[in-house]
Amino acid sequence: MANQLRERHQGLKKKYRELIDGDPSLPPEKRNQVNLAQLLRDSRERVKKLTEEVKELTQRLTEAQGDNKLLRMTITRQRLGDEEVGVRHFPAHEREDLVCQLERAGLQMEEMEHNMKALTDELQDVKAERSVFREKAERLNVELNHVLGNREARIIDVDALCMENRYLHDRFTQLQEEVNLLKSNIMKYKSALERKKNSNTYGKSSTSPLTGVLSAKQVQEMLLEEQGCSLPATPQSISDLKSLATALLETIHEKNLVIQHQRHTNRHARLLSQQGLNREPHYQYS
């Protein structure tokens, strides 16, 4: 292409020189007229050729723009897998909507980044506060260990000590309830003993009356007695049966209280031991 332009330039330059110099055989006036006419014809031909070239280039530009648009549509269709992408994705109003959505998404992203930064700062503050409290707890444990004898074989834990204190308090409350229960049983035995001294009615009732507090062995012996299966329908036998039922209910109630206390004690002991096991590696000496 460059060689063709260079050759064309050389030919036009040579032709221009010939027109300027003219034919040496003609007089100067004729030579000037011939040169001007030739220049005019050549200029018109060049204008015509240039006009045609401009039209051709304009047509090529239009075709290239159409090819570019078709290529963009084909690439977008292949990427999105949509046959109607040329109709739906290229109108101006949809492009404006997409730009608005993109701007809103950008604002939301900035807000989320700001929130994330604030949460990160808050997390750092919480970590710093946790470190401060941990160091404070360690210092308190060391001081407490020093006050309680400075035994290096055992590290006193304030939290574990509080848990143990709470456990001992609950245990003390349970023991008080058990003591009260034992006192009530003693009062029942005393009243039964007084009734035994004062009652002299018939047979077995005078020797071994139902007291309201029976052991498991006594209940088993009374149920296995042959005479107990055919008691006469007397007020005394009915009273004895009522006393037996009451004694059984009270015994069951006492056993339930003991079981509940034992469960409560086991739960506190398990929590205390678990906490001790969790804290023991943290306070071990290297």
Q: Considering the domain boundaries, does residue 169 fall inside one?
A: yes
According to DSSP, residue 128 is labeled H
Q: Is the pTM of this model over 0.85?
A: no
Rounded Cα distance between 271 and 260, Å, is: 17
Rounded Cα distance between 199 and 206, Å, is: 6
DSSP code string of 57-81: HHHHHHHHHHHHHHHHHHHHHHHHT
154-179 pLDDT, tens per residue?
Answer: 666 777 777 788 888 888 888 888 88
Query: What pLDDT is attached to residue 202?
Result: 44
Q: How many CB atoms lie within 10 A of CB 266?
A: 10
Query: What pLDDT is attached to residue 57?
Result: 92
Chain centroid to Cα 146, Å, comes to 42
Q: Considering the domain boundaries, does residue 2 fall inside one?
A: no
Do 239 and 173 have their domain in common? yes
| Domain count for the chain | 3
Q: Considering the domain boundaries, does residue 190 fall inside one?
A: yes
193-233 pLDDT, tens per residue?
Answer: 777 667 644 444 444 444 445 555 665 666 666 444 555 56
Do 188 and 207 have their domain in common? yes
**Contact at 8 Å (CB) between 156 and 144?**
yes
Highest mean pLDDT pick, 5-9, 11-15, 92-96, 130-134: 130-134
Last residue of a domain, one of 108, 135, 156: 156
Q: Considering the domain boundaries, does residue 75 fall inside one?
A: yes
Longest dimension (CA), the chain: 183
Which residue did the predictor score with more confidence, 178 or 279?
178
Do 151 and 170 have their domain in common? no
Q: Considering the domain boundaries, does residue 170 fall inside one?
A: yes
Rounded Cα distance between 48 and 42, Å, is: 10
All residues at 6 or more sequence positions from 246 whose CB lies less than 8 Å from its CB, including other chains: 212
- Which of the four pLDDT bands, split at 50, 70 and 90, describes residue 124? very high
**Contact at 8 Å (CB) between 207 and 245?**
no
Do 75 and 115 have their domain in common? no
Do 95 and 72 have their domain in common? no
Task: Kindly provide the b/e burial profile for residues 104-121, where b requires at least 16 CB atoms within 10 angstroms of the residue's own CB.
Answer: eeeeeeeeeeeeeeeeee
Do 259 and 180 have their domain in common? yes
All residues at 6 or more sequence positions from 206 whose CB lies less than 8 Å from its CB, including other chains: 196, 199, 200
On the 0-12 / 13-18 / 19+ scale of CB atoms within 10 A, 284 is: exposed
Tokens of 61: 């530009």
Q: Which residues form the domain of 139?
A: 91-156
